[in-house]
Amino acid sequence: MGLTIRDVAKAAGVSTATVSNVLNKRGKVGRRTENLVLSTVKRLGYLPNIHARRLASRDTRTLGIIVSDVENPFFPEIIKSFLARTRQLGYDAILSDTNYDPRRTQEAASRMMAHNVGGVAIMTSEISPKLIDELVRRKIAVTFLDHAPARGYVSTLRIDYASGIEQSVRYLHKEGHRHIAFVAGRPTLRSNIIRLEAYENIMQQLGLKPGPVLHGDLRFEGGLAAGLAIGKMFPRPTAVMAVNDLTAVGVLKGLIKAGCRVPEDISLIGFDRTRLAEYSNPSITTVDIHRDLLGQMAADVLHELVSSPNPQGKVYEISAELYIGNSSGPVRSE
Amino acid sequence: MGLTIRDVAKAAGVSTATVSNVLNKRGKVGRRTENLVLSTVKRLGYLPNIHARRLASRDTRTLGIIVSDVENPFFPEIIKSFLARTRQLGYDAILSDTNYDPRRTQEAASRMMAHNVGGVAIMTSEISPKLIDELVRRKIAVTFLDHAPARGYVSTLRIDYASGIEQSVRYLHKEGHRHIAFVAGRPTLRSNIIRLEAYENIMQQLGLKPGPVLHGDLRFEGGLAAGLAIGKMFPRPTAVMAVNDLTAVGVLKGLIKAGCRVPEDISLIGFDRTRLAEYSNPSITTVDIHRDLLGQMAADVLHELVSSPNPQGKVYEISAELYIGNSSGPVRSE
DNA sequence: TGGATGTTGTCAAGCGTTTTTTTTCATCTA
DNA sequence: TAGATGAAAAAAAACGCTTGACAACATCCA
């Protein structure tokens, strides 16, 4: 195909080993020769073949990221910062989308192993313990989002959902709300359960009866249905909290369709602080979980795990902060 | 590291060539042996090393996609369908994000070449002719989005922007609008120029004076500024067309901030039919360019180019259709 | 019956790098 | 000046797979 290291070596009148040494900056090469090689590489426009490189050097400078849905606004920012960070750290990165399908998750993991990655960030929940074991057995570093407990090769980024929910409820309470609905996600996902339980706990702590709880699907459609339902309730809650922004945007639309004004008639709070919350009319009060940092952290954590001689998986806590938009305010007494 | 083909061969009592032949379905293997090998592979949990594979088989079953911004809602859907389709076709796929930076575009292309891809879908505009030449010289198949003319290894997916714009203007005209503003993108991008010119042409054809043209940046922020400006104009246009949905969402917010009601006071039309248009309140009238098909088509086109012995780049036209939402309607005479 | 033909497998030569080992050669020391 | 020392470069052995050439063997046809 293209040029090989041999072509460069020949053109520069040195051995392939020397070219390789120059390209990988391992010292051992005189300044004159180094410059000669470098200029030859540039002149010829030589590019090392990644596959040959990865094959020959046992060390695996590739990191993977598995997400459940590239289209879900939760992920792009994470992907972007992961890609940017891995590049900075000198890794190659590969992405797989599982489309929420456990079988595809298995495939994605296999792909990662076939690529001989040093580590993989698993940002999806549909993953079996068996799979984790396999990754660990192959000494592949792993970071999860709110999932497995940390151990040797496994670190976890744990988002403080509970705190985010608590801040939201306390804020609504301070604004006079007493009747607060919650639109949850599927109760099969740990992170959804955590959020729902946090909501119930803090409500009780404040002496409030946990309001109606509806079940969405983490998507727009589920939120829309929930919003319509809530808008027609009697008595109607004065505030709604949604499990994520996408749901919140749906809820907003549902409420408006049902003839409610937001925030005049009903306050609304989302979660994740995606740009959707900002784009919305009114902009949505939401909880910032620093998604832009998430991808970067995942890369950093994997890098640490990969380069450590004796890796120690850790749990990293990611704080959540209420971010006030225009979809919430004091309760109106009519 | 992990298991090699040799381990499998030994365990099954055959040669590595046979294992390889089974795994690549090249015939030449009896049913008994085939089953034996297959079950051994499964039992041992063997996964072929991708790098060794790509290195040994000159044929390059990897396809790349380069986008300018994973976070821009225009792209995720395209990426997703590209990934899905390449998987179906049996390719491995790699993604690069250039962040609108020409230097990064160069890097991304280099990465693709280093990966020895068979083809690459270039979904970004910041690309130099020199780079295209280099790709062609290396016999790498390429598809562009509205860019280079087609030739041997280069196909182009051409979106029919002009028709989309024309439909929009005619629709507004029919609804009684005579004073129609346009929020454009940077005039350095061909696709932006096409849209702007189409707008000017059709306006003139209808005997209308092309209204105020503002320049956004294809992002929310630019749209917001433009929306605010338009909202305060006097006389105010009765309709606004935006170069894409993200801009339209910004315009909507700006208009509302400026005290305009949409669509009562002013109609708004976006472009691309991203889900943003649907999420918005009111939902935005927009132009559907079948983005979900775009990624798939890119993969198909590359596949065709790669597998043809004598590749003939073509131009594929992608139709655009006006999709009416709640942000537009008849002009109000007051 | 004996060559032609087909089927099933194996051998071994790569693929383009990295990396360990070896060689070369200049410089230094006693 | 002989030997030791060390730096710079070359040689050569992997890395894990694919694949064309070839071998073994059964089957067929005339």
CA-based nearest residue in chain A for residue B112: A50
Considering chain A, what is the average pLDDT of its residues?
Answer: 93
B-chain CB neighbours of A100 within 8 Å are none
Strands ordered across the beta sheet of A180-184: A213-215, A180-184, A239-242, A267-269
Mutation target for B interface from A41, A55, A62, A70: give the one with most B CBs within 10 A: A70
User: What pLDDT does B191 receive?
Assistant: 86
Taking the CA of residue A86 and the C1' sugar atom of nucleotide D1, their distance in angstroms comes to: 58
Unique residue bearing structure tokens 């070219």: A19
What residues contact residue B266 under an 8 Å CB cut-off, 6+ apart? B230, B231, B236, B237, B238, B239, B240, B255, B260
Task: Report chain A's terminal Cα–Cα distance, integer Å.
Answer: 76
Cβ distance A71 to B70 less than 8 Å, yes or no, reads: no
B315-318/B321-323 β-pairing = unpaired
Local structure of A306: helix, strand or coil: helix
| pLDDT at residue B78, as a whole number | 97
Average pLDDT, chain B: 93
Which residue on chain B is closest to A48 by alpha carbon? B114
Which pLDDT band holds residue A1 (cuts at 50, 70, 90)? low
Distance A119 CA to D9 C1' (A): 36
pLDDT more than 70, % of chain A: 99
CA separation (Å) from A73 to A67, A318, B148? 12, 19, 31
Q: Which residues of B touch A242 (CB under 8 A)?
A: none
| Distance from C-alpha of B154 to C-alpha of B146, rounded to nearest angstrom | 12
Looking at the DSSP assignment, which residues form a beta bridge with residue A306? none
Q: Are B70 and B79 in contact (CB under 8 A)?
A: yes
- How many angstroms separate the Cα of B221 from the Cα of each of A205, A210, B218, B246? 41, 39, 8, 9
pLDDT in tens, A36-72: 999 999 999 999 999 999 999 887 799 999 999 999 9
Report the alpha-carbon distance of residue B309 to residue A224 in Å, rounded: 51
CB contact set of A165 (below 8 Å; sequence gap of 6+): A195, A198, A199, A202, A241, A271, A287
Does A24 contact strand C, using a CB cutoff of 7 Å?
A: yes
* Nearest residue in chain B measured CA to CA from A262: B281
E strand or H helix that includes residue B278: helix B275-279
The pLDDT, as a whole number, for residue B333 is: 59
Q: Which residue has the higher pLDDT, A29 or B288?
A: B288
Instruction: Give every residue of chain B whose pLDDT is below 70, as ranges.
Output: 1, 333-334
* pLDDT at residue number B310: 87
* Range A177-195 average pLDDT: 92
pLDDT above 70: residue A333: no
Q: Which residues contact A14 (CB under 8 A, 6 or more apart)?
A: A33, A36, A37
- Distance, in Å, from the CA atom of B167 to the CA atom of B269, rounded to the nearest integer, reads 11
**pTM of the entire predicted model:** 0.92
Please give the pLDDT value at position A59.
75
Region label for B228, one of left (φ > 0), alpha (ψ between -120 and 50) or beta (otherwise): alpha
Give me the pLDDT at residue A25, please.
Answer: 82
Q: Which residue has the higher pLDDT, A31 or B238?
A: B238
Nearest alpha-carbon partner for A169 in A246, A250, A271: A271
User: Which candidate from A47, A79, A134 shows the least CB-CB separation from B70?
Assistant: A79
Q: Which tens digit of pLDDT belongs to each residue from B80-120?
A: 999 999 999 999 999 999 998 999 999 999 999 999 999 99
pLDDT digit string (tens) for A248-299? 999 999 999 999 999 999 999 999 999 999 999 999 999 999 998 999 999 9
Distance from CA of B294 to the nearest CA of A (A): 14
CA A308 to chain centre: 24
Cβ burial of B210 (10 Å; 0-12, 13-18, 19+) is middle
Query: In the structure, what pLDDT confidence band is assigned to residue A29 with cuts at 50, 70 and 90?
Result: confident
User: How far away is chain B from the Cα of A321, in angstroms, using its nearest Cα?
Assistant: 22
What is the structure's pLDDT at B1?
Answer: 61
Confidence of residue A300 (pLDDT cuts 50, 70, 90): very high
